[in-house]
Structure 1
Amino acid sequence: MLLLDDLLVRPFTFLLRTLHDMALEECYDVEGIRDDLKENQLLYEIGERSDAEYTRRKTELEDALDIAMEARDRLSGKVEVMR
């Protein structure tokens, strides 16, 4: 029975864990959000984005960045989950 677990179950759980980690990394891409913040700032500075649109997008991206950083910290074990 243990041999079957080693041959069938472990590779499957490893694959699921790897896919899960990759999906979380993509969903909580801190550097990507920071790049979007820089792009938003640049578009505002060159006049391609209105003040209202810049402010709305900045707030939206800052909220997403906070969530991504918190999720990354929790997933890396830096923050203890409150129960």
Structure 2
Amino acid sequence: MASFSADELRLLQDIVGRRDPAAEYLIKSLGKTPLTVDQRERLREILAAEFVDTGLEADDEPNERGRRIDEIIGRLGRF
């Protein structure tokens, strides 16, 4: 099972904590117990909303934050 770096976990915690605090328990499960399809999808939806709001340049290309969020979204599929 892949794991997240400390930096990725901080970003994930920040985003989930602001957008859906009730989902923070899912972050604590990462790497310990497999997430269900619905749990992974919930986290991906939270991250996708953040990506749209903060992860794009004016020309709709991803900025650095967007690339980091996109990487996490992709990696959540492996949990």
- TM-score bracket, shorter-length normalisation: 0.3 to 0.5
Structure number with larger C-alpha Rg: 1
Normalised TM-score (structure 2)? 0.40
